[in-house]
Chain A
Amino acid sequence: GAVVSQHPSRVICKSGTSVKIECRSLDFQATTMFWYRQFPKQSLMLMATSNEGSKATYEQGVEKDKFLINHASLTLSTLTVTSAHPEDSSFYICSARAQRGLRFGYTFGSGTRLTVV
């Protein structure tokens, strides 16, 4: 089945530094990937839609200059949290979309726990 690998699983960084999170589709090509953010005991909030070879589409309220998304190939999308602050601490999850027949299937990574100290 479709597998999405997300790295790192956990990261601790100092306030003011940048952190890059990678999301790879291992056995399929994903023209579209999604990035979500999740706070404890809450649901997943869509941050942005990442399209291969073009600029990401950000949801309302998400700062595109703070959360840089790059989707340079059909199997890799990256999210960089720039100048991280403690309020950016959260669980970040990526999802890759693949066409399955007439429908789309969504495969999720295992998430990245970001702690900014």
Chain B
Amino acid sequence: TQLLEQSPQFLSIQEGENLTVYCNSSSVFSSLQWYRQEPGEGPVLLVTVVTGGEVKKLKRLTFQFGDARKDSSLHITAAQPGDTGLYLCAGAGGATNKLIFGTGTLLAVQP
């Protein structure tokens, strides 16, 4: 079974602070995605990374895929209250390309 461990599990910070969320696995994935989810809604795709070592930026968010395609990180610069939510990494792979989600990181940004 593919497992994706995220850390930290919970994070409460002040507006303006920086943070990094990690997503680690012992399995190799053909692609890895990051999602943000609000309560009572489906997850919303933020980014897809497919190449080992790849770095993608989305405004204040920076995503990195590990060289071995087993891990990834999400860095948020100058966090804002609107960034509050559940952040999920998800890896796709295997014969069926099913999407397996990480354990999740619940972020709260205080104004």
A: which residues have CB within 8 A of B?
6, 32, 34, 36, 41-46, 49, 57, 60, 91, 93, 95, 97, 103-104, 106, 108-111, 113
**Contact yes or no, B40 A46, CB < 8 A:** no
Determine the distance from Cα of A57 to Cα of B92 in the docked complex, in whole angstroms. Answer: 16
* Given A42-B104, A46-B101, A103-B50: A57 touches B96 (CB 8 Å cut-off): yes
Determine the distance from Cα of A42 to Cα of B106 in the docked complex, in whole angstroms. Answer: 9
Q: Which residue of the partner chain B has the closest CB to A100?
A: B48
B: which residues have CB within 8 A of A?
1, 6, 31, 33, 40-45, 48, 50, 86, 88, 90, 92, 96-104, 106
* Interface majority SS (helix, strand, loop, mixed), chain A: strand
**Contact yes or no, A46 B33, CB < 8 A:** no
**Contact yes or no, B88 A108, CB < 8 A:** no
**Contact yes or no, A111 B40, CB < 8 A:** yes
For the A-B complex, the count of residue pairs with Cβ-Cβ distances under 8 Å equals 56
Determine the distance from Cα of A57 to Cα of B101 in the docked complex, in whole angstroms. Answer: 17
Across the interface, which residues of A come within 8 angstroms of B92, CB to CB?
Answer: 104, 106
Determine the distance from Cα of A34 to Cα of B97 in the docked complex, in whole angstroms. Answer: 11
Q: Whole-angstrom distance from the CB of B63 to the nearest CB of chain A?
A: 16
Determine the distance from Cα of A43 to Cα of B23 in the docked complex, in whole angstroms. Answer: 13
Determine the distance from Cα of A49 to Cα of B40 in the docked complex, in whole angstroms. Answer: 22
Determine the distance from Cα of A103 to Cα of B33 in the docked complex, in whole angstroms. Answer: 12
Q: Whole-angstrom distance from the CB of A95 to the nearest CB of chain B?
A: 7
Across the interface, which residues of B come within 8 angstroms of A113, CB to CB?
Answer: 40
Cβ-neighbour of B101 out of A6, A43, A49, A103 (below 8 A): A43
**Contact yes or no, A97 B41, CB < 8 A:** no
Across the interface, which residues of A come within 8 angstroms of B33, CB to CB?
Answer: 106
**Contact yes or no, A104 B97, CB < 8 A:** yes
Cβ-neighbour of B96 out of A36, A49, A95 (below 8 A): A49
Q: Which residue of the partner chain B has the closest CB to A51?
A: B96
**Contact yes or no, B42 A93, CB < 8 A:** yes
